[in-house]
Amino acid sequence: MTEIVARTRHGRVRGTQTPDGLRFLGIPYAAPPAAAGRFAAPAPHEPWDGIGDATRYGATALQPDRGVTIIPEPLVAGDNCLNLNVFTPTLGGAGLPVLVWIHGGGFFGGCNASPWYVGSSFNRDGVVVVSVNYRLGAEGFLVLPDAPANRAVLDWIAALEWVQENIAAFGGDPSRVTIAGQSAGGMASATLLGTPAARDLFRAVACLSGSVSLGPSLERAGQVARSLADHLGITVSREAFEQVGDAALLAGQQAMMNQRPPGQDAAALAAAMARPGLPFAPVLDGEVVTQSVLDAVATPANKHIPVLAGVTANEFDMVLRDAWWVTRDMLVSALGTLTGQGAAQAERYLDRHRDRTPAEVAGQVITDRTFRLPMHALLAVAPAGYGYEFRWAPDSGPFAGLSVHCLDLPFVFDLLSADGVAEVAGSAPPQPLADAMHRAVTSFVKDLTPGWARYEPDTRLTMIFGGHGGTGQGDLEPDPLALERSMWDGRWPS
């Protein structure tokens, strides 16, 4: 590999030339959080002399070691998690479209150093990729009375501002930026539609497996802050939280996230199937984030911004797979509690999934309420929306028969040989499916359309990838969630 140097407004950086393109890793886009305060807004980075090293991934945000996750996500030590990576086919004034990628991880984990986020295939097809790290958990999202709210959102804005100021030096066009992400990253991308400070920093949004309303209300966020402070034995103030050590803060976060309803009955099942709220996530604070996602995507100020939104068919179905105690009668009762409808509607839903156990169907309910229905709600109000569902599933391995959360990512990035893919997708994931998925996203970034008709509220046309045993792009399917929407009858988002 050959070293190569590029210039940013802060100073020069040394990257690496590979057979796939140019890589600049771990470039700081803001000062280390400790410099201004872990619970402060991001501060500008000071210029540096000489040439900064951008040949290795930068530090990851403070987070628990989650062990083995579906996506390989290494933890990298260091003092500045506010860094980004640039993958580009060339330097200089090429004017290429730019994909800014925000990683997932439930807003408490994840990083931009995953081998599943390498931008080489996008570079091959003439797209610059920028992948962003940001503050997670309490540091990024805890609402405190004397600290700016939505600090992680401010991190995303700072990264987008860096792109506007610097991406031309890396071959990108700052007027052709698409923000995208998966899971929490998809929710982040959609959240930026309701963030006035970000309004002129991108031209399109791709929301992959990102729900629209898992964040806490401002009231609930205040309760989380008080509970966390009580757990740590401190006051609810920025000064007090600044003094908490990393290990103690992470332990407190986990305590807030591990609260689960007890029991093995219909009431406990209903509680488990209710869409899981996230204690640490963007909040509608009225200053940084001023609109909900659904209001923001429909606002006239965003009418020119196309939205690509998609899900996998069985995102979180595995969550209750081992809940052996779930019976059909219990599931019917729990669905009645959640939907407010009678047993007949629940029986129709179970009949659709007659080949699955009650516990697996309960997992499908979580998938529908958390991802599939919110995706269709988002597209129904988007002036220029495009929807898809990824249905391919491996025939062996731990996720056999399920199109689970994150499975689509190696196909989107066209990285089927990357580390960790075989463990999730099997030894021979279909390359034609990767070709189709990657082509659609590349087309959206380049031309603002993935190559199929817009989603309209009267038809709800949704592109199917890998359906019915197929291994590529299928057909547009009208209203694939008609039964689910009628069953919930507006009782979501809750």
* Distances 343 to 323, 335, 336 between C-alpha atoms, Å: 22, 8, 6
Cα 460 to Cα 323: distance, rounded to the nearest angstrom: 34
Question: 54, 24 in Cβ contact below 8 A?
Answer: yes
Residue 464 pairs in a beta bridge with 389
List the catalytic residue out of 114, 183, 189, 211. Answer: 183
Residue 21, helix vs strand vs coil: strand
Residue 136, helix vs strand vs coil: coil
For 46, residues 6+ apart whose C-beta sits below 8 A from its C-beta are 10, 31
Please identify which residue in the block is written with the tokens 């619970």: 39
Strands (E), 335-452: 385-390
Give the side-chain half-sphere CA count within 13 A for 429: 29
For 427, residues 6+ apart whose C-beta sits below 8 A from its C-beta are none
Residues found in the chain: 494
Residue 80, helix vs strand vs coil: coil
Give the side-chain half-sphere CA count within 13 A for 313: 20
* Distances 461 to 293, 303, 377, 454, 477 between C-alpha atoms, Å: 21, 20, 13, 7, 5
Cα 139 to Cα 241: distance, rounded to the nearest angstrom: 9
Known catalytic residue at 231 = no
Known catalytic residue at 315 = yes
List the catalytic residue out of 292, 405, 438, 484. Answer: 405
Cα 214 to Cα 492: distance, rounded to the nearest angstrom: 11
Question: 373, 488 in Cβ contact below 8 A?
Answer: yes
Known catalytic residue at 165 = no
Question: 301, 307 in Cβ contact below 8 A?
Answer: no
The full DSSP string for 421-489 is: HHHHH-S---HHHHHHHHHHHHHHHHHS--SSPPP-TTT-EEEEESGGG-SSEEEEEE-TTHHHHHHHT
Q: Which of 383, 377, 414, 407 is CA-nearest to residue 492?
A: 377
> In the chain, what's the furthest Cα-to-Cα distance?
71
List the catalytic residue out of 131, 189, 292, 315. Answer: 315
Neighbours of 381 (CB within 10 A): 16
Pairing of strands 204-208, 92-102: unpaired
Name the CA radius of gyration of the chain, rounded. 22
* Amino acid sitting at position 73: E
Catalytic residues: 183, 315, 405
